[in-house]
């Protein structure tokens, strides 16, 4: 693997880390930095929002306020580079704490269409593919 390819892969991995950090810390400016201004984001398989970056930020701000803590673990990052674009498929594992003793976990894949911008790699499209949930009913029971 040549140096430019390695550099792209490292930057893409950093982008995914920035994404997870942004969501878990509810840092919406950092979240915005992961995406292009006109990005399409789709969390519908997990019951989440679908839309452009700003409408998704508005909805996530409200939805994630239900949780005292979330953690996104991202792994098995598959990158297909094609010049100034890339397709990325990465697994996620996500424990979500509603309150002490009330939590659930979920997992699946993030599917990103990335483009290289003057500011580095950015996601132009994210489709979350939720695969499973465990404990969700108990997490929200009285």
Angle at alpha carbon of residue 31, lines to 26 and 34, rounded to 5°: 160
- Paired strand residues for 112: 88, 126
pLDDT of residue 1: 79
pLDDT of residue 141: 86
pLDDT of residue 97: 95
Name the phi and psi angles at 139, rounded to 5.
-65, -30
CATH number for 121? 3.10.450.50
Nearest by Cα to 32 from 15, 64, 65, 54 = 54
Q: Which residues of the chain have pLDDT under 50?
A: none
Number of domains in the chain: 1
Q: pTM, whole model, 2 decimals?
A: 0.94
CB 14 within 8 A of CB 88: no
Domain of residue 34, residue span: 3-139
99 Cβ neighbours under 8 A, 6+ residues apart? 68
Q: What is the pLDDT of residues 68-100, one digit of tens each?
A: 999 999 999 999 999 999 999 999 999 999 999
pLDDT of residue 13: 98
Question: What six digits make up the tokens of 114?
Answer: 């990335």
């Amino acid at each position: 693997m040549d140096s430019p390819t390695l550099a792209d892969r490292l930057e893409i991995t950093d982008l995914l880390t920035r994404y997870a950090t942004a969501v878990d810390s509810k840092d919406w400016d950092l979240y915005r930095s992961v995406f292009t201004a006109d990005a399409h984001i789709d969390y519908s398989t997990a019951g989440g929002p679908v839309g452009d970056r700003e409408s998704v930020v508005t909805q996530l701000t409200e939805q994630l306020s239900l949780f005292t803590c979330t953690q996104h673990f991202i792994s098995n990052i598959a990158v297909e580079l094609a010049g100034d674009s890339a397709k990325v498929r990465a697994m996620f594992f996500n424990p979500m704490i509603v309150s002490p003793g009330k939590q659930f976990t979920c997992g699946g894949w993030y599917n990103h269409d990335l483009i290289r911008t003057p500011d580095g790699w950015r996601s132009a499209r994210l489709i979350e593919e939720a695969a499973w949930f465990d404990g969700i009913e108990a997490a929200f029971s009285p």
